[in-house]
Structure 1
Amino acid sequence: MATKEISPVPSFFFNTTTAYIFKRLGQGAFVIFLVSLLSFFLLKLSPGDCLSDLRFDPSITKEFIESEEIRLGYDKPVYMQYFIWLSSALRGNLGQTCQGSIPVLSLVGARAGTTLMLSFATIVITWAIAIPVGIFAAVKQNTWGDRLVQVISYFFQGFPSFVLAILLLMLAQNTSLFPVGGLTSIDFSDLSWFGKVVDIGYHLFLPVLTLTIISFAGLQRLMRGNLLDVMRQDYIKTARAKGLPENKVIYVHALRNAFNPMVTLLGYEFGALLSGSFITEFFFSIPGLGRLLLEAVFQRDVSLVMAGLMIGTFMLVIGNIFADLMLKLLDPRIKLEEMD
């Protein structure tokens, strides 16, 4: 009687890419643990806490302060407070806000969508403009077009983002062309789904413009510099000596290698999605996560600040893994085991 052949386990579970992903996830988990440990102790050992202002309020009784200290775990040693926070976080419970006792996870979830939308729109628009402009500047090096682009880039790269936000706010107030703040109009609930999309985009125009202008300068200069470096390499000179068309030399051979460092940068930008819009959200009164965490720092709300730090660290880890995989996809010659 013939024995039934057992099908082998798919090689996907044993290939190099999968092993690399699990290895990096393990390293990322250790990094997140170290960041949480260091951040928690720094926040706890810094002067004051979220009850400091209440202690100086004569209308607040001592009994109420003591009950709040017990609720927040302030009566326990700092190391015990950390382990209590860590065990709760591993179960998906990030604690409650210091004042108001609102679950941190629900509060962060309600605000994170706005920040992600703002930051994602900024990254897409910035890259869509800066990369072609950087390529143009490199190809047209030392021409009037290249010099004009570099002058604009130098000007905006050193321009403070809060100053630009204030100038655009003044423009909105004096012209009434754009909303001054907020994310939606008063009649937002009465609009159709398409009208709601347009209304949100209308309110995000100036904040996205602020972040795009500031980010554009450095990104296009980096793209220009990378492409110029690659175009000076010997294999590019060899390709030209063989009589290949200049467009093929630049846009096929040179551009592919020049774009690799940009992919790495994209991974870091993914990690900075939640933290890159703090000032913009504050000035334009956008109810996003950046503004929420900024207020949490002023209020010394440890649970809320820790939630923001952990989400940012997690996204940085995932962004770096994503960037490495994208590099491998764009250039098969890259070995993942050599990228640790």
Structure 2
Amino acid sequence: MWSYIARRLVYSFLTLVAVSVVSFIIIQLPPGDFLTSLMSKYAEQGGGEIDQGVLESLQLRYGLDQPWYVQYWLWISGIVFHGDFGQSFAWNKPVSELMWDRMGLTLLLSLVALIVTWLVALPIGIYSAVRRYSALDYVVTFLGFIGLAIPSFLLSLALMYVLSRYAGMSVGGLFSASYINAPWSWGKVLDLAAHLWLPVLVLSTSGTAALIRVMRANLIDELHKPYVQTARANGLGEMELLFKYPVRVALNPFVSTIGWVLPHLFSGAVIVSVVLSLPTAGPVLLSALLSQDMYLAGSFIMVLSVLTVIGTLISDLLLAWLDPRVRYQ
């Protein structure tokens, strides 16, 4: 067990190094850099030219006049040895400050969406498999196909229009205007709860529909295997038999999704976050990529990579514990 974990950690470290190098190179592939974009934008706004001394100091500090591997080393060594993710040129703030400001709300939103997805998909998927071709199974199948077919951003726009037009509700964002910059209090928590349901509904719809179909298909396959018939012949009750054996095996897809769920917690469905004006990490990452803010974009990509590796490791360990057929070798 421990040798397996140690081996996986070594592989994970090598993977992260490779991902960080590739990500840094990709961010720098477009022609020019952020300083070039900054000078052009400043000139378009009628600000003239930026002081040459300021540009030279930025180039010297971050090695922007050096080859990419020098810039990469300055960046990655700052993260590893000093916890310094660099400076966001677009926001003129430390990258760590920008990331941590949005990380809490991103985690809260996505974790709630994940819990809702599992709480809804698991029992409905089990019922659809056990009561196959029943009226409820047909209804759930129909709604599931609709949930899979409608893009999340389109569902967001439709719900915003309906709620605003016919219910007179103020939609978008996670806080009312009076609470956006207010310190945390019980009133702010209640205001967050009042705004949280809409993005949770949008983010969980497609995932719920997909997991229902997966759970139904896997459980139907397990219910017709010989070990189920043997357990039933030995007098095991239907409910006990269902949850002790076939449901446990059919849970594998739920556990295996942790590998991509953790990075999804931080990316937070970028387009949905932009449409609903959510203060999550996704819009900041999109803005950083568009403006070639390389330290901000690279740091977010590194966080997503670390979460993917950690999630995959957790999935493997849970699968080995859940399903005896999975072996560490």
Tell me if TM exceeds 0.5. yes
Deviation, 1:177, is 5.4
Which residue of structure 2 aligns with residue 283 of structure 1?
A: 275
For residues 189-235 of structure 1, give each alpha carbon's deviation from its aligned partner in whole angstroms, at most 9, with x where no partner exists.
88984332221111121111111112111111111111111112221
**Cα shift at 1:288:** 1.2
Note the alpha carbon deviations across 1:137-177, whole angstroms, 9 max, x for none: 11111122111111111111011111111111112322455
Is 1:75 the counterpart of 2:65? The answer is yes
Aligned to 1:60: 49
Q: Is the 8 A contact 2:62 2:74 kept in 1?
A: no
The percentage of counterpart residues that share the same residue type is 35
- SS of the equivalent of 2:170 reads coil
Would you say the 8 A contact 1:72–1:98 is kept in 2? no
- Is there any run of 5+ residues in structure 2 with no aligned partner, and where? none
- Conserved 8 A contact 1:271-1:313: yes
Cα distance, 1:19 vs structure 2: 3.0
Give 2:260's aligned residue. Answer: 268
Q: Which amino acid aligns with 2:104?
A: G
CA distance in 1, matches of 2:172, 2:96: 25
CA separation in 2, counterparts of 1:146 and 1:170? 30
Q: Is the 8 A contact 1:178 1:202 kept in 2?
A: no
* Aligned-partner Cα distance in 1 for 2:25–2:184: 48
**Deviation of residue 239 (structure 1)?**
2.4
Q: Aligned in 2, Cα 1:297/1:105: closer, same or farther, shift over 3 Å?
A: same
**Are the equivalent residues in 2 in contact too, given 1:119–1:277 (CA < 8 A)?**
no
| 1:171 partnered with 2:131 | no
Write the letter of the residue equivalent to 1:171: V
Moved more, 160-169 or 262-271: 262-271
Distance 1:43 1:192, change over 3 A: closer
2:114 to 114, 118, 123: 123
Give me the whole-angstrom Cα distance separating, in 2, the residues matched to 1:84 and 1:190.
37
Q: 1:135 aligned to 2:126? A: yes
In 2, are the aligned partners of 1:125 and 1:212 still within 8 Å (CA)? yes
Q: Secondary structure at the match of 2:215?
A: helix
Distance in 1, Cα, partners of 2:117 & 2:169: 21
Q: CA deviation at 1:47?
A: 2.6
Corresponding position of 1:44: 28
Question: Matches of residues 96-107 of structure 1 in structure 2 within 5 Å?
Answer: 96-107=87-98
Q: Which has the higher mean CA deviation after the structures are superposed, 46-55 or 299-308?
A: 46-55
Cα distance in 2 for residues equivalent to 1:252 and 1:216: 23
Asked whether the equivalents of residues 268 and 280 of structure 2 are also in contact (C-alpha less than 8 Å), the reply is no
Measure how far apart 1:62 and its partner are.
6.8
Mapped to 2, the partners of 1:228 and 1:329 lie a distance apart of: 22
Is residue 84 from structure 1 mapped to residue 74 from structure 2 by the alignment? yes
The amino acid across from 1:201 in the alignment is A
Distance 1:328 1:108 in 2: 34
Q: Alignment partner of 1:274: what SS?
A: helix
Moved more, 325-334 or 289-298: 325-334
Shift of 1:323: 1.8
Retained in 1: the 8 A contact 2:148–2:206?
Answer: yes
Instruction: Find the aligned partners of 2:191 and 2:233 in 1 and give their Cα distance.
Output: 55
If the length of structure 1 is used for normalisation, what is the TM-score?
0.87
Contact 2:259 2:312 in 1 (8 A): yes
Counterpart contact for 2:90–2:291, Cα < 8 Å: no
What are the ranges of 5 or more consecutive residues in structure 1 without an aligned counterpart?
A: 1-15
Question: For the residues of structure 1 that align with 2:293 and 2:50, how far apart are their CA atoms?
Answer: 21
Aligned residues: 321
Contact 1:55–1:65 (Cα < 8 Å) also in 2 = no
Task: Confirm or deny: 8 A CA contact 1:49 1:300 kept in the other structure.
Answer: yes
SS of the equivalent of 2:93 reads coil
Amino acid corresponding to residue 145 of structure 1 in structure 2: L
**Aligned equivalent of 1:314:** 306
Give, in angstroms, the shift of residue 24 of structure 1. 1.7
- Higher mean displacement: 124-133 or 198-207: 198-207
Structure 1 residues 197-276: aligned runs within 5 Å: 197-276=189-268
Distance 1:213 1:82, change over 3 A: same
Structure 2 residue 9 is the aligned partner of structure 1 residue 19: no
